[in-house]
Amino acid sequence: MKNISIKILSILVILIFILQTNLVIAANKNELTNQQTQLDKDIKEKKEEIEGIKEEKSETLKQVEDLVAQISEYETDIEDLNEEIGGLNKEISEAQQNLEKAQEEYDENEKALNERLVTVYENGETSYLDFLLSSDGLVDFISNYFLVSELATYDTDLLEKIEEKKNNIEEQKTKLENSKTSLNNAKTSKEKKQKALSTAKTEKSKYASKLSEEEKKAQAELEQFEQDKKAITAQLITIAQEEARKNQGTGATIITSNPSSSGYIFPVSGCSKSSIRNQSYPSYRGHTGVDVNIGVVGKSVVAVKSGTVITSMALRYPSGAYKSYGEYIVISHGDGTMTLYGHMLSGSRRVSTGQKVSQGQVIGTVGSTGNSTGPHLHFEVRVGGRPVNPIPYLP
């Protein structure tokens, strides 16, 4: 009996030892699993960070890329100046027509006044009172009274009209001179931009001739991107102008100079401004937005505010390869602002043109389509169709 008790006790000790060992092993395994998970996460984010950093480029290619962006800026500036010159020419034409009309009316009123003065002079210095006292009777007096009232009103109105037209002429002359000065300044600026553009194109050709075949391909892709951006901007400006016309008189809140009132949320789910590696604007010449590129692989892209989708498409070369913004979406928020989401994952767009979206609604997934060197979301804010610094709009 004693031997059996000793054996049972020994078995229990062994079982307790095994159980404790298994518990320790299980605890270590869980800890190791957690550590492995954290390491995997760290490795993934590090890989993502490495992929998001621009690949090293030769100094020649950097010069070419800078000049391509510079040329695009000059061309945009010249287009804006052409538009300004056209508007000023129209203003000058209208001001000249208004001035001529005001001068004609002034001359007519002045002629009428002179005729009135001649009549008064030829009839002597007879006053309105003398005219009334010369009435033959009550009926004649009343009739003469109304006639005097009309004449007095006419004289007063005539003098006021002459004074008004005189002031109007002076205003039109001032406006005309200001428009002419602005026109000359715009023409001078345009000439300077055209010279700078010509110089930049010559420089670009010089550097481009030294590029390798691979670098020339990169240059061509960048130039295509610049062309696409200009076309998209022109389209968005037209849409913005149409929306502005529709919003006139509706009392709609228009955000222009106060980004903090935009009411935006962050465009990548679960991320914040800390996911933007370079928060300067522009982070490099020709960059019209910011890149959300830290800890974003596989994450959802969301609408920063409710609005209407005005563009949802994939930009591709005829070969089918992605170019420029790649898979991208533009949303108009009905307050004068638009937001653009670029380089999203292939096939991830969940909304179509004309669709209404709510704030926080998933519209796609972070990717690297188009002119992109790694997974990130290219995010833009546009006012009046033109890109502005998006950082102040983000929470």
Report pLDDT digits (tens) over 222-236: 889 888 998 999 899
Average pLDDT, the chain: 77
pLDDT the model gives residue 51? 43
* Residue 336 near residue 378, CB atoms below 8 Å: no
Map residue 94 onto helix, strand or coil.
helix
Whether the predicted pLDDT of 127 surpasses 50: no
Reported confidence tier of residue 174, pLDDT bands at 50, 70, 90: confident
Reported confidence tier of residue 116, pLDDT bands at 50, 70, 90: low
Does 295 share its domain with 196? no
* Residue 37, both tokens: 């998970």
In sign, the C-alpha dihedral spanning 136, 139, 142, 143 is negative
**Residue 367 CA: distances (Å) to CA of 224, 310, 331, 374:** 20, 21, 19, 8
Does 271 share its domain with 389? yes
Does 151 share its domain with 259? no
Does 192 share its domain with 259? no
Average pLDDT (149-163) is 56
Does 376 share its domain with 265? yes
Residue at which a domain ends, from 141, 176, 204: 204
Reported confidence tier of residue 171, pLDDT bands at 50, 70, 90: confident
pLDDT above 90 as % of the chain:
33
Cα gap 36→24, rounded to integer Å: 18
More confident call, 183 vs 22? 183
User: Residue 70: inside a domain, yes or no?
Assistant: no
User: Residue 181: inside a domain, yes or no?
Assistant: yes
pLDDT the model gives residue 3? 47
Query: For the chain, what is the radius of gyration of the CA atoms?
Result: 38
Map residue 268 onto helix, strand or coil.
strand
Does 191 share its domain with 275? no
Residue 51 identity: E
Please count the structural domains in the chain: 2
Does 266 share its domain with 336? yes
Domain range enclosing 127? 88-204
Does 186 share its domain with 277? no
User: Residue 119: inside a domain, yes or no?
Assistant: yes
Query: Picking from 108-122, 224-238, 267-281, 324-338, which range would have the lowest pLDDT averaged per residue?
Result: 108-122
pLDDT the model gives residue 141? 45
pLDDT the model gives residue 217? 83
User: Residue 110: inside a domain, yes or no?
Assistant: yes
Does 282 share its domain with 369? yes
pLDDT the model gives residue 220? 84
User: Residue 190: inside a domain, yes or no?
Assistant: yes
Reported confidence tier of residue 8, pLDDT bands at 50, 70, 90: low
> In CATH, what number is assigned to the domain containing residue 318?
2.70.70.10
Does 277 share its domain with 387? yes
pLDDT the model gives residue 16? 57
Question: Exposure of 375 by Cβ count < 10 A (0-12 exposed, 13-18 middle, 19+ buried)?
Answer: buried
User: Residue 28: inside a domain, yes or no?
Assistant: no
CA angle 341–297–303, rounded 5-degree value = 30
User: Residue 161: inside a domain, yes or no?
Assistant: yes
Map residue 320 onto helix, strand or coil.
coil
Q: Model confidence over 186-225: pLDDT tens digits?
A: 888 888 888 887 888 888 888 778 888 888 888 888 889 8
Bridge partners (DSSP) listed for residue 377: 292
Residue at which a domain ends, from 170, 204, 238: 204
Query: Picking from 94-98, 124-128, 167-171, 288-292, which range would have the lowest pLDDT averaged per residue?
Result: 124-128
What is this structure's pTM? Answer: 0.62
Does 284 share its domain with 358? yes
Residue at which a domain ends, from 144, 179, 204: 204
Whether the predicted pLDDT of 26 surpasses 80: no
Cα gap 293→50, rounded to integer Å: 10
* Residue 168 near residue 162, CB atoms below 8 Å: no
Identify the CA nearest to 215 among candidates 376, 346, 60, 79: 60
H or E stretch at 308 = strand 307-316
Whether the predicted pLDDT of 80 surpasses 60: yes
In sign, the C-alpha dihedral spanning 143, 148, 150, 151 is positive
Map residue 135 onto helix, strand or coil.
coil
Whether the predicted pLDDT of 131 surpasses 50: no
Does 366 share its domain with 286? yes
pLDDT the model gives residue 124? 45
Average pLDDT (268-285) is 93
User: Residue 279: inside a domain, yes or no?
Assistant: yes
Whether the predicted pLDDT of 241 surpasses 80: yes
Reported confidence tier of residue 55, pLDDT bands at 50, 70, 90: very low
